[in-house]
Amino acid sequence: MSFWEIPGMKAGVLTGDLAWSLVEHELNRPAVIQFSEGGSAFIAGKSLPNEQGVNQASILGAVAGAHFVRAVAPAYGIPVLVNTGYCGKQLLPWFDGMLESDEAYFKQYGETLFSMHSLDFSQEPDAENIELCKTYFKRMSSVNQILEMGIGMTSGSSIFKVYQGLSPISEKFTIAAACKAGSVVKPEMPLATIVQGYELLLCLESGLHSVRQPVALRLKDMQAHAREQIKARHATAGCLHFTSSRMDEAWAFQEFPTEAATGKDIQKPLSFVPNLKLVSSKVGFEAAEFSAVAAQLFATVPDMLSNCPVVGSGFEKEKITGLQKFYKAQDGSPQAEDKYYGRISLPPNLPADVLAELKETATKLCAPGKGFLAADESAGPWLRAGHAEAAKIPDVIENRAAYRSMCFSTPGLSEYISGVILHWETLFQDDADGKSMVDIITGNGMIPGIKVDKAYDKKGMWGTEVGPLGHPEVSTKGLDDLQERCAQAYKKGARFAKWRNVLQLDPKKGLPSKLAIMDTVHTLARYASICQSERLVPIVEPEIVPNGDHDIEYCRKMTEIVLAAQFKAMADHHIYLEGAVLKPNMVKNGLKGPKADAETIAKLTVQTLLRTVPVAMPGIFFLSGETALNEDNEEEATVNLSTMHKLYPKLPWHLSFSYGKALQKTCIVTWLGKPENKAAAQKALKARSNANTDAVFGKYVKGSCPSVGTDGNVLQAAGPY
């Protein structure tokens, strides 16, 4: 029987009743991904606190890992169980944090984040062990979650006590025990109560069964032996279980009485459950009965999550060899372990003082409630404001300097704005009184940043489809001399940078293409690495433009794919995440597509970010994007951001704004190029900035900030800027 024959079976992460049906089901098992406490901390990063009683890194790492598996597993077309490694009494704060995440996820989506959790209080007295597990199991059962309880080396009577304690709460539990030879288990325990051993697996049938000594079996013989056993003894009372503490040791299995020995007609097929236990508890992925497809999936997961290893049956010899190399690199010694983790935790060749400066800058940019003023347009920003009257302002260098100096000198603007993104012209520009723009910005308490991409050519990439923007898919220019320009920008006073790559959506044409996605994420990762080498914090902006008639679901799907690929590329390019920030699009419908409300936009946007953005990334700053002509761009952007924070008050990163026209439109229309309107224009800019700070705290009241609304709306200037 295949697990696909189970009613309701589906690809992706399973929880509740469906997950339990797989735990009970023993042939052709799905993949199981298991996060250990140490491995989870590794995922989150060494810079987060993880001392006993806090376990912030372990909690965030496990939660982020679970979201990642949820994001990618469906694409591989297999059922997956997400489990956590055995948690002892000293690690209960870690368990508490994950369980709280499960309860919050259940409240939001009707299922838990993790499929199951494992508790191991075997170092405690039996009575205390059982009582502790009962306390946690009651919480878990309220959200229909599975518990695996470890009780260590024990006897059959102890197993039965555990069964008696847990079974009144729920049937969804398993017992992990290493039984001594000769142990006898009472017949009252049903077969559904699966007892998994650290070195043996005891699967019970009614009647008395004794545990025999294990038989040595080499790794290379596992599959063949299992097939022989299945063929020879289809009906058996027990299971086979293979474990190993080191790759070079023999694998052990346990036999149980057959029909011939018991005289009973036992209709229970052989179970084959490979289970690898790594020497180092730093990495906690466990695989059970891998199919070829599952092997592909979880060969990818480690690469995405800092090269954590994974193994299971069906792996090629090379994969096993690769794992052995990883194994030997650690060798159980702290020195080897630090060397290994240090190699992939931080970018090579960047001195400690550079990393410290990058992190300090990023932290300042992510100050509570604050966002970015995007003032990096190559032309006058009034041309991109999408307003008929504003478009009449002459686009000359004097007007651009006058407008921008007015904005940057707005009294009190730094209460809401942490950084200002400049165009190259503006970085080296002075106002009418001869004061540099950089000095105006820093003097007003903000950090100058610089746009360093050179836009794109509308001719696009050869052979790609024409998208909703009216041209083929594009590749942003500027990498050729980026190193030199970053050095110049830093010397002038810039402390962060921005680079924008554009992707178009068209489900009928399959846009964005894989080519465009790969070009985008590689280019942005390469840019980010160059910036960090010159002490500039990179804003990574893979913008999916809203032009088109697609629905919000297609935008969600493609945004998730793009962001997952983006962080894979950033890992490949050794990007120091703690010294970088992300500027993504919100998940929205196409301008001509079916309109989604603010709550739907908020839910799908945050869901996508939780599935793809590592917790080590300190900040996410949304671009506002184009809106339909009957929509107020400023108000829409503020309301969407505020709705996210109302629905999700606790997020692992600073979730804020990096708006251009959504901060400046009313300011521009108020100013209209007239010096006498300066004070009123500054007031408008400060008011909208304040509104977005309120949004970051989830407190913005729709309509409470004055705006020019939709009167005079025209199609904004499209394309590169």
Residues 299, 308 contacting (CB under 8 angstroms): no
Tell me which residue of 246, 251, 278, 356 sits closest to 576, measured CA to CA. Answer: 356
Tell me which residue of 192, 128, 191, 116 sits closest to 165, measured CA to CA. Answer: 128
Q: Which residue has the tokens 């809106």?
A: 627
Residues 427, 697 contacting (CB under 8 angstroms): no
Q: In the sheet where 31-35 sits, what is the strand order?
A: 12-13, 79-84, 31-35
- Angstrom CA distances, 500 to 162, 198, 458, 584, 720, stand at 58, 51, 15, 10, 9
DSSP 167-202: TTT-S-EEEEEEEPTT-B--TTS-TTSEEE-SS-EE
Of 286, 289, 541, 636, the active-site residue reads 541
State CA 322 to chain mean position distance: 26
Cis peptide before 512 (omega within 30 of 0): yes
Measured CA to CA, the distance from residue 280 to residue 339 in angstroms comes to 14
Q: Please measure the distance between the N-terminal and C-terminal CA atoms of the chain and give it in whole angstroms.
A: 59
Length of the chain: 721
Tokens of 534: 């010159």
Of 359, 583, 603, 686, the active-site residue reads 583
Q: Residue 674 catalytic?
A: no
Characterize the bridge pairing of strands 537-544 and 581-582: parallel
The conformational region for residue 203 under phi > 0 = left, psi -120 to 50 = alpha, else beta, is beta
Residues 176, 120 contacting (CB under 8 angstroms): yes
State CA 498 to chain mean position distance: 22
Measured CA to CA, the distance from residue 532 to residue 351 in angstroms comes to 11
Q: Residue 699 catalytic?
A: no
Measured CA to CA, the distance from residue 381 to residue 714 in angstroms comes to 14
Measured CA to CA, the distance from residue 125 to residue 416 in angstroms comes to 56
Tell me which residue of 556, 472, 572 sits closest to 521, measured CA to CA. Answer: 572
Tell me which residue of 559, 456, 455 sits closest to 505, measured CA to CA. Answer: 559
Measured CA to CA, the distance from residue 602 to residue 620 in angstroms comes to 14
- In SS3 terms, 310-344 reads as CCCCCCCHHHHHHHHHHHHHHCCCHHHHHHHHHHH
Task: Give burial (CB, 10 Å; 0-12/13-18/19+) of 409.
Answer: middle
Tell me which residue of 512, 657, 643 sits closest to 584, measured CA to CA. Answer: 657
CA angle 623, 628, 630 (to 5 degrees): 125
- Angstrom CA distances, 445 to 36, 213, 411, 414, stand at 44, 73, 10, 5
Q: Which residue has the tokens 């969804």?
A: 172
3-state SS class at 502: strand
For the annotated catalytic residues, the residue numbers are: 541, 583
